[in-house]
Structure 1
Amino acid sequence: MHAVSEVAGGYPRIMTALPDSTSDTNTAVAGLENTFAEELGELTVPWKGVPAPAPALLVLNEQLAADLGLSAEALRSEDGVAVLSGSAVPAGSTPVAMAYAGHQFGGYAPLLGDGRAMLLGELVDAGGRRVDLHLKGSGPTPFSRGGDGFAVVGPMLREYLVSEAMSALGIPTTRALSVVATGRDVRRNGAEPGAVLARVASSHLRVGTFEYAARQGEVLPRLADYAIARHYPELADLPATGDDNRYLRFFDAVVEAQASLVAKWMLIGFVHGVMNTDNTTVSGETIDYGPCAFVDAFDPGAVFSSIDRGGRYAFGNQPAVLTWNLARFAETLLPLLASTPDDAITAASAVLDTFDDRYDGHLTTGIAAKLGVAGIRIERALVDDLLTVMEESGADWTGSFRALADELRGDSAPLDRLVPRAAIGPWLERWNALLARQGRSPAEIADAMDRVNPLYIPRNHLVDAALRAATEGDLSLFGKLLEVVTQPFERRDEWSDYAVPAPRLFNESFQTFCGT
């Protein structure tokens, strides 16, 4: 459940005085641990957020809070909002700004780091999993590189909404705990209301973290061992040397996790928009929802990010970009993989060369489920021919798979609205012949398809409208859209408008921005 403030014409001010930003007695967020900062202090700088002038809680993820063992009531209190805004430090916490490097649009930056963020600490959730609690927009840090360190309401609500939609779709992702308006105007496109996002992640270890550590000497093996213990503990007891050492297996595990992740992105039409190496996690979670978007009409060349002028991170390029990013990761691990550089390169290359097959396997399995033929060997030509028909017809990616399920139920109208019958008719004959091999009724197949094909995604025009209204203080559109996209598979007649793609002219001019 997400509690969204009901406001209009401005945000409610729930605090009248600034908290002491140096206080260590705030118990609203209890039980934080600091293993990353304690074990890998060379990769951190102790830091504190800038007090917010008039913090106001805009949205709180109550279910996530409960999963983390946190009290929603305590988070709504003055002490709780102080922590979530970066104004106060939880008791026992040692907040840090994290250092990392990264390749941004192919160019190497030796030091990036948390320029407007900080790691409050770690919690152990109800399932026994260690997670980070991280603030975004909490003020400048030593890594700000001239930036102001703040964030604004629209982009922070975008990350909240899209990350929660991705979670509901079953895609590995960071999660959003809250967004707090700070009461501070931030200069972006004129003065915009400032905000802080509280983000929860399996960790914030990135390829960029390893790129930084690889140039710091002895910290690299300790970072790798920390990442293994946290994300791939089954590898922790393997030897540190030899042909099957734990670091090579670690690289293999990250390649597998990222191949699975990017296949899931492609299956739902998600365009990340800024796939720099500092936005590629070793956990296999999606991170950073700045210029992200979703395709309506199927288009491998779709680019929405205003800064991706060359289309490097276009929808159809995402698997290749992930391969490139993983090659950069492999380079950082070479000293750990084998006793000689040549042997290390050979071992890393052998693993990296498996990416395409892994990705194709995940994509084929996923598309088979979307087409109602899970468990049956599906010919690539059948998939490619469907994609050709969809691209040539400008068919809506999300709606087409639900329309195919309706077709099986005897309702041809939804598909006819998306694709000319003459164009898709021959393909339907081949598909039906494949379905007939399963021994299941059309209704059973259609129901199975609906369980994996979402009806509601964060449509770009709906997100844009909701964020524009929220920036003006009206959160009603945001709250409703959040409710819909976090229940993506359940058809409701009153939500029919949320399943309709944007007008064609909208997406021809639509752009997303990093929000920095």
Structure 2
Amino acid sequence: MAVLAGNRVPEGAEPVALAYAGHQFGHFVPQLGDGRAVLLGEVVGRDGLRRDIQLKGSGPTPFSRRGDGRAALGPVLREYIVSEAMAALGVPTTRSLAAVTTGEAVRRETALPGAVLTRVAASHIRVGTFQYFAARGDAEAVRLLADHAIARHYPEAAEAERPHRALLDAVVARQADLVARWLLIGFVHGVMNTDNTSIAGETIDYGPCAFLDAYGLGTVFSSIDHGGRYAYGNQPRIAHWNLARLAECLLPLLAEDEGAALEAAQEALAAFGPRFEAAYIGGLRRKIGLSTEREGDAALAQDLLKSMAENGADFTLTFRRLCDAAAGPEGDAGVRALFAAPAAYDAWA
């Protein structure tokens, strides 16, 4: 318990705070870093997989700037609950091992109870990690980081003719699949900065996140996202934008010729759209109960979503009650009740 509360360092551990840069709401910040988190180390599970163990809220770090490095109980519990819910829903995510109250007050706008979260992740390598070294012109560090990412997460890329191109391809594919899963469960991350984009393809950093109630592409939950940059329906575009920032960092590794490197990056990024669409439409097909694939499936699903948006229908309940609708009229009535104009559902059904 002392370790989980940040009061004792495990034997053999050398805690570190990780450096990274990032685009925050589109604006580049060359140095961010773990301002209230420390990486205790790595463990290898019985499944042979290597995982990071990180404490969040354990105190100040070299990157805390003027912050206290502490975490309030509310955000700690939010990450614990939401990350475990995401895992249960089959969405790649960091996990929460423990949430421990500290007994100390954390000063924000008011005094709040403090807590420490123990986060477990495939790794904490972010797009912003690559940006940190690229912004400093440290090409060798970028190469070492890329090689480490390949060895840690994408060992098959090491066998490719161009390992670093294979790395970019793999990260693009994982991000496309991840964001498709977000949309399929109505999840809004809320702060998709490049420093919150994991190379491992996991959902990381649960800040102003939430799940949709009424379906709407423009839904945001961050109080500072006035322009809707990270709105529910904009998440695929932002994921692609973040991946383009990763590709910029990797350009010197993709090919010796600058033109060839740009072409390789563009080809890798172009694969995002088709990969995302296939994962998203495939998921929608399952959500509306289609067991076979037909040409009009995407249009059918989109017609339902359009009607849901126009009628304020609850995202999760609509798809849940569609399961009952197949059983008979009573179940169908349950879906109709979610629409401001039930006839809109009738027209679709």
TM-score range, shorter chain: over 0.9
CA RMSD of aligned residues (A): 1.1
Query: Residue in 1 aligned with 2:234?
Result: 317
2:312 to 357, 380, 394: 394
Query: Residue in 1 aligned with 2:183?
Result: 266
1:114 to 13, 19, 34: 34
Measure the CA separation in 1 of the matches of 2:221 and 2:141: 38
2:18 to 98, 114, 123: 98
Query: Residue in 2 aligned with 1:489?
Result: none
Query: Residue in 1 aligned with 2:159?
Result: 237
Query: Residue in 1 aligned with 2:132?
Result: 212
The one-letter code sitting in structure 2 at the alignment partner of 1:202 is: A
Q: What SS does structure 1 have at the residue aligned with 2:276?
A: helix
1:390-429 C-alpha deviation (Å, 9 max, x unpaired): 011100100001111111011223112112442122321x
Query: Residue in 1 aligned with 2:146?
Result: 224
Measure the CA separation in 2 of the matches of 1:271 and 1:300: 10
Measure the CA separation in 2 of the matches of 1:306 and 1:126: 42
Q: Does 1:174 align with 2:94?
A: yes
Measure the CA separation in 2 of the matches of 1:353 and 1:192: 46
Q: What SS does structure 1 have at the residue aligned with 2:220?
A: coil
Q: What SS does structure 2 have at the residue aligned with 1:412?
A: helix
Contact 1:406 1:412 in 2 (8 A): yes
Distance change >3 Å, CA 400–CA 115, structure 1 → 2: same
Q: What SS does structure 1 have at the residue aligned with 2:74?
A: helix
Query: Residue in 2 aligned with 1:406?
Result: 324
Q: What SS does structure 2 have at the residue aligned with 1:83?
A: coil
Segments of structure 1 that go 5 or more residues without pairing to the other structure are: 1-80, 239-243, 429-516
Query: Residue in 2 aligned with 1:45?
Result: none
Aligned residues: 343
1:23-72 C-alpha deviation (Å, 9 max, x unpaired): xxxxxxxxxxxxxxxxxxxxxxxxxxxxxxxxxxxxxxxxxxxxxxxxxx
Q: Does 1:129 align with 2:46?
A: no
1:246 to 157, 163, 175: 163
The one-letter code sitting in structure 2 at the alignment partner of 1:91 is: E
The one-letter code sitting in structure 2 at the alignment partner of 1:124 is: V
- State TM-score, norm by structure 1: 0.65
Measure the CA separation in 2 of the matches of 1:261 and 1:423: 31
Measure the CA separation in 2 of the matches of 1:374 and 1:327: 35
Measure the CA separation in 2 of the matches of 1:332 and 1:343: 15
Mean CA deviation greater in 82-91 or 245-254: 82-91
Contact 1:140 1:150 in 2 (8 A): yes
1:191-210 C-alpha deviation (Å, 9 max, x unpaired): 00111100000000000011
Measure the CA separation in 2 of the matches of 1:375 and 1:83: 51
Contact 1:364 1:378 in 2 (8 A): no
1:297 to 214, 225, 230: 214
Q: How does 1:11-160 map to 2 (within 5 A)?
A: 81-160=1-80
The one-letter code sitting in structure 2 at the alignment partner of 1:196 is: V
Measure the CA separation in 2 of the matches of 1:166 and 1:218: 36
Q: Does 1:423 align with 2:339?
A: no
Segments of structure 2 that go 5 or more residues without pairing to the other structure are: none
The one-letter code sitting in structure 1 at the alignment partner of 2:347 is: P
1:80-121 C-alpha deviation (Å, 9 max, x unpaired): x21111111100111111111111000001111111000000
Report which of the two structures shows the higher radius of gyration computed on alpha carbons: 1
Measure the CA separation in 1 of the matches of 2:327 and 2:11: 58
Q: What SS does structure 1 have at the residue aligned with 2:20?
A: coil
Measure the CA separation in 2 of the matches of 1:377 and 1:319: 24
Contact 1:403 1:415 in 2 (8 A): yes
What's the offset of the Cα at 1:132? 0.3
Q: What SS does structure 1 have at the residue aligned with 2:159?
A: coil
Distance change >3 Å, CA 192–CA 150, structure 1 → 2: same
What's the offset of the Cα at 1:151? 0.5
Query: Residue in 2 aligned with 1:459?
Result: none
Measure the CA separation in 2 of the matches of 1:377 and 1:139: 55
What's the offset of the Cα at 1:374? 3.6
The one-letter code sitting in structure 2 at the alignment partner of 1:236 is: A
What's the offset of the Cα at 1:227? 0.6
1:321-377 C-alpha deviation (Å, 9 max, x unpaired): 001000000000001000011111111011101211111111011001111114412
Measure the CA separation in 2 of the matches of 1:106 and 1:417: 41
Measure the CA separation in 1 of the matches of 2:294 and 2:150: 35
Measure the CA separation in 1 of the matches of 2:24 and 2:212: 23
Measure the CA separation in 2 of the matches of 1:377 and 1:85: 53
Contact 2:20 2:32 in 1 (8 A): yes
Contact 1:368 1:378 in 2 (8 A): no
What's the offset of the Cα at 1:251? 0.2
What's the offset of the Cα at 1:378? 4.8
Query: Residue in 2 aligned with 1:183?
Result: 103
Query: Residue in 2 aligned with 1:466?
Result: none
Measure the CA separation in 2 of the matches of 1:417 and 1:194: 43
What's the offset of the Cα at 1:184? 1.3
2:267 to 350, 358, 365: 350
What's the offset of the Cα at 1:388? 1.2
Contact 1:176 1:198 in 2 (8 A): yes
1:257 to 160, 168, 174: 174
Contact 1:204 1:281 in 2 (8 A): yes
Measure the CA separation in 2 of the matches of 1:191 and 1:427: 51
Query: Residue in 2 aligned with 1:44?
Result: none
Q: What SS does structure 1 have at the residue aligned with 2:3?
A: helix
Measure the CA separation in 1 of the matches of 2:197 and 2:348: 37
Contact 2:336 2:345 in 1 (8 A): no
Contact 2:53 2:121 in 1 (8 A): yes
The one-letter code sitting in structure 2 at the alignment partner of 1:398 is: T
The one-letter code sitting in structure 2 at the alignment partner of 1:280 is: T
